[in-house]
């Protein structure tokens, strides 16, 4: 079985795969100074929760946008999981089976390429993938599977936290859609702006991408807040919460072959 680790700026998502079947998943808060031993205690807790023995894991694959955490998990595998040997660290620009059309292929986040690989294999192309994370990202996959590029916007949690930090009388609110667009309290007004603002941005940018591509195409949503936003969207057609882990598992198995 494969332990797949997606290290993001806000959260780390763990998943265990038996071939293409994800048996279980877990989310951790990203702590940049977490040690390799601390990482291992979290992996042990995860394995215990899903009733898997660490010795049953045959590989570890890591997709990361936080270099310090990449090093910690890599050290964890070498020191604590010696039966595996070295972990597989995803470097998208080295993959032989996906063309990256970015001006600088090395600058594309590993998570975005994981999304692209899994999205294309599951749904074909052309395709738009909207990932709700620290940033809300749009990734565009062409009809031949090439990674064309995308859009990066502040995520819901990122933008709302900054607004609350800058405005003395505003407080954190739950990420829920209010019943009415016109808020009749500060809390409802803030929820309306955050949630409906995000929704309109998503649909508006997807339509602009369609126009630039010259065709309407399938739009996939992923990430922790995808189910909350996507159900209200007029352009999103599918919700796949763990698309990054799925892509990381697929890439790992391709590279092993």
- Give CA–CA dist 138/226, Å, rounded: 13
Please give the CATH architecture assigned to the domain spanning 93-247.
Answer: 2-Layer Sandwich (3.30)
Pairing of strands 21-29, 11-18: antiparallel
| ∠ Cα 187 189 193 (to 5°) | 120
> Is 111 designated active site?
yes
User: What's the pTM value of the predicted model, to 2 decimals?
Assistant: 0.91
Specify the domain boundaries for CATH 3.30.420.40 within the chain. 2-89, 93-247
Higher pLDDT, 174 or 14: 14
DSSP secondary structure string for all residues of 102-118: SSSGGGS-HHHHHHHHH
Binned at pLDDT 50, 70 and 90, residue 241 comes out as confident
Binned at pLDDT 50, 70 and 90, residue 161 comes out as confident
What value does the mean pLDDT take over residues 138-147?
Answer: 96
pLDDT (tens digit, 9 = 90+) per residue, 96-114?
989 999 999 999 999 999 9
What value does the mean pLDDT take over residues 137-152?
Answer: 96
User: Do residues 128 and 109 touch, judged by C-beta distance below 8 A?
Assistant: no
User: Do residues 24 and 49 touch, judged by C-beta distance below 8 A?
Assistant: yes
Pairing of strands 135-141, 147-154: antiparallel
Question: What residues contact 99, with CB distance under 8 A and at least 6 apart?
Answer: 144, 145, 146, 147
Superfamily of domain 2-89: ATPase, nucleotide binding domain (3.30.420.40)
What value does the mean pLDDT take over residues 118-122?
Answer: 96
Residue of 111, 131, 139, 246 marked catalytic: 111
> Please, what is the average pLDDT of the chain?
92
Where would I find the beta strands (DSSP E) of 110-255? 127-132, 135-141, 147-154, 218-223, 238-239
Higher pLDDT, 208 or 231: 208
User: Do residues 34 and 73 touch, judged by C-beta distance below 8 A?
Assistant: no
pLDDT higher than threshold 90 for residue 85: no
């Amino acid at each position: 079985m494969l332990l797949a680790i997606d290290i993001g700026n806000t959260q780390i998502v763990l998943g265990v795969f038996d071939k293409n079947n994800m048996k279980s998943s877990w989310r951790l808060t990203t702590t940049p100074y977490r040690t390799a031993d601390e990482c291992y205690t979290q992996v042990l807790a995860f394995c215990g929760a899903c009733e898997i023995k660490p010795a049953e894991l045959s590989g570890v694959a890591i997709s990361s946008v936080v270099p310090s955490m990449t090093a910690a998990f890599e050290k964890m595998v070498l020191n604590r999981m010696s039966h595996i040997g070295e972990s597989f660290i995803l470097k998208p620009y080295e993959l032989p089976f996906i063309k990256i059309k970015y001006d600088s292929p090395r600058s594309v986040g590993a998570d975005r390429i994981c999304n692209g690989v899994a999205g294309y294999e599951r749904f074909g192309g052309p395709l738009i993938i909207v990932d709700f994370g620290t940033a809300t990202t749009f990734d565009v996959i062409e009809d031949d599977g090439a990674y064309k590029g995308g859009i990066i916007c502040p995520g819901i949690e990122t933008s709302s936290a900054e607004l609350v930090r800058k405005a003395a009388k505003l407080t954190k609110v739950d990420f829920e859609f209010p019943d009415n667009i016109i808020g009749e309290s500060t809390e409802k007004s803030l929820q309306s702006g955050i949630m409906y603002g995000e929704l309109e941005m998503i649909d508006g940018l997807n339509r602009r991408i369609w126009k630039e591509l010259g065709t309407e195409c399938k739009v996939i949503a992923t990430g922790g807040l995808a189910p909350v936003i996507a159900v209200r969207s007029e352009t999103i057609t599918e919700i796949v919460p763990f698309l990054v882990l799925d892509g990381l598992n697929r890439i790992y198995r391709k590279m092993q072959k």
